[in-house]
Amino acid sequence: MSRAQAAGDGRGTYARPSPEERRRMIAEAAYYKALNRGFQGGDPVEDWLAAEREIDAMFPNPEQQREEADLYEKLRAALKDLLAEAQAVNADTLRQAFERATADLKRTGRYTAETIAKVAASLRKDIASTAVKLGPRWEDLSRRGGDLFEVWRDRGAIFLSQAATAVGEWLRQTGTRFGQQTYRAGEMVYKGAFECTACGERLTLPESAHLPPCPRCQALEYRRH
């Protein structure tokens, strides 16, 4: 298995698909839309336009990537500070902290509600993927999830047990699947290693960023390694 270091511009942005790659992705997405309805009814033009919107949303332009990366780090930092203040932890504690962190960022007026919602969903997904290790593998979680949960590490066994339950319950309440996640190219993710589900290529992101297509096979799906 080879390993690749993702090459960006040093500010968390990555190359968008070439026109040929973009067209291939749109054609594939449009095909699956028709396939999912058994090729019955529908409009090929509408399928194409819908697929085009989806693919373009997956690969924001460099300015949008930088904005989302900046927002992602701000949201993580705000959530970490709020979690550090928690004297007890349960699903409501996490929900309120997350809602307060996003509300504070909305009040700055720097980001659209759509961008905040998109980045918040990405952060919840990353928490769900790393929180599967919560509990007896607390150190592993802190390593894979960065410093987001490290603020609770020295709170004692009872607190950590409550935290494990709280994280799982909060994720279930938000409709986020608890456990190992798959990620699509274009998603905003926390730094770390990712493995292409198609060819096994391992990609390392040195900072939080948007996942690029697989550098080996151009596939679009990853697992966190």
| pLDDT of the chain, 225 residues: tens digit per residue | 444 555 444 445 666 778 888 898 899 889 999 999 999 988 999 999 999 988 887 778 888 888 999 999 999 999 999 989 988 889 999 999 999 999 999 999 999 999 999 999 999 988 887 765 554 455 554 444 456 777 777 787 788 778 878 888 888 888 887 666 889 888 888 888 999 999 999 999 988 888 888 889 888 889 988
Whole-model pTM: value is 0.77
Judge whether 204 and 224 are in contact, CB under 8 Å: no
Could you list the beta-strand ranges (E) of the chain: 3-5, 182-184, 188-189, 192-196, 202-205, 209-210, 221-224
Taking the mean position of all CA atoms in its chain, how far away is CA 203? Answer: 15
- Residue type at 112 in one-letter notation: T
Beta bridge pairs of residue 192:
205
What was the pLDDT predicted at 147? 63
The residues spanned by each domain of the chain are 19-58, 63-174, 181-225
Burial of 79 (0-12, 13-18, 19+ CB in 10 A): buried
Instruction: Provide the token pair at 167.
Output: 């994280």
Residue pair 176/125 in contact by the 8 Å Cβ criterion: yes
pLDDT of residue 70: 92
